[in-house]
Amino acid sequence: MSLRYLGRRAVQALITIVFVLLLNFLLFRLAPGSPERVLLRNPSLTPQAVQEIRARWGLDKPLVPDQLVAYVESMAKGDLGYSFKYRGEPVVDVIASRFWPTIILLGSAELVAMVFGLALGAYAGWRRGGRVDRIGNGLGLVLYSMPYFVIGMPLVIIFATTLGWFPTGGMFSLGVAFASPIDQLLNFLWHLTLPLATVSLALIGGYSILMRSSIIETRGEDFVTTARAKGLPEDFILRKHAFPNALLPTVTLIAINLGYVVGGAFTAEIVFNWPGLGTLTVDALNARDYPVLQGIFLFISVAVIVANFAADILYGYLDPRVKTE
């Protein structure tokens, strides 16, 4: 892979990040409402006090160029500002406090979905027209078309409210003194089960559909025909020949899917009151907390851009047919 190819992809990623920074500034300021509406709900604050707070936050200055210049300067320094809602706490600290719950939920769901979704799609595509293909493909289409909260609500009603097997929300049981770290871990996994099942089921559909179509296309390749002519078992051909080559399209899907996964996981977090970035986004929206919203949007956008950049590089290594000159 040439340095020219790497440089071109890196420049494209940087240009996209710059565009995201500008959009990040304008997007939330064009939304209806303003932060002082939250302040005005406090009857103890006088109009003069509200104006002083607006001046301290820089909201009394013109949007362009004053607020825009201040925003660019702070971003260049890595300063995301201070939260309006959380009493001036740095945005980095606010996001960091909700970062790991979302990462654990997303990471676990991605692993589960890739294992089961790719396996189901590969077997269904290899046995095209069979019972597993008909059932698996139909189930995958249903799951792929359903929003996360539509999957999550029945799980709450059945397994949490009706059967009482799992909690309805939260990350830990409130008011419980854990005897050991093992008990705390088990309680955490108990709360994680339904949110994890919701996000995983939604992702399994997309991965199984793509892998099925990729396997069907790979079945007609010459190397598969040659392997069959050698008398190799079908399962061996699937595992060692067809499956590795059919994986190439999923590399791009996983990277592109990151943005959709995060958005879907946010709705799942709201359904299960999971204390991650999704619930933080809702709280920040209600409070018109621009700095926190900008920080979350910037984090998600940069993560998607970096993931796509990594996918481009990885795809170039995995498939030598890709032009990287």
What DSSP element (H or E) covers 223? helix 222-229
- 83 found inside a domain: no
**The pLDDT value given to residue 319:** 62
Q: Is residue 36 part of a domain?
A: yes
Query: What's the rounded Cα separation, in Å, for the pair 24 and 37?
Result: 21
Neighbours of 12 (CB within 10 A): 14
Residue 86 lies in a domain: no
Regions of the chain where pLDDT drops below 70 = 1-2, 28, 31-45, 50, 53, 56-59, 253, 255-260, 263-264, 316-325
Q: pLDDT at position 190, please?
A: 92
Query: Residue type at 269?
Result: E
Which pLDDT score is estimated for 260? 64
In the DSSP assignment, the letter for residue 33 is -
Distance CA 280, CA 298 (A): 14
Domain check: are 18 and 147 in the same one? Answer: no
85, part of any domain: no
pLDDT in tens, 278-296: 888 888 888 778 788 888 8
Structural domain count, the chain: 2
* 14 lies in the same domain as 117: no
Which residue type occupies 162? T
**Cβ-contact 115, 211 below 8 angstroms:** no
Residues 115 and 254 occupy one common structural domain: yes
Question: At which of 76, 105, 128 does a domain end?
Answer: 76
Task: Determine, yes or no, domain membership for 174.
Answer: yes
Q: Which domain holds residue 72?
A: 3-76
Same domain? For 59 and 106 the reply is no
Examine residue 246 and state whether it is found in any structural domain, yes or no: yes
Measured between its terminal Cα atoms, the distance across the chain in Å is 7
Q: Is residue 115 located within the same domain as residue 222? A: yes
Report the alpha-carbon angle 75-81-83, nearest 5: 145
Closest to 84 (Cα-Cα) out of 49, 53, 45: 53
CATH number at residue 314: 1.10.3720.10
Do 26 and 127 share a structural domain? no
The structure's pTM equals 0.76
Residue 20 and residue 305 in contact, taking contact as beta carbons nearer than 8 Å: yes
Is residue 60 domain-shared with residue 107, that is, in the same domain?
no
Q: Are residues 61 and 209 in the same domain?
A: no
Same domain for 117 and 254, yes or no, is: yes
The pLDDT of residue 32:
65
Any domain includes 84: no
Both tokens assigned to 320: 């030598």
Looking at the fold, whether 72 and 103 belong to one and the same domain comes out as no
- Within a domain: residue 26? yes
163 lies in the same domain as 241: yes
Residues 126 and 210 in one domain: yes
Domain end point (choices 42, 76, 110) = 76
Give residue 70's pLDDT: 80
Give 94's contacts (C-beta < 8 A, 6+ positions apart): 83, 86, 280, 292, 295
- 226 SS3 class: helix
Beta bridge partners of 82: 90
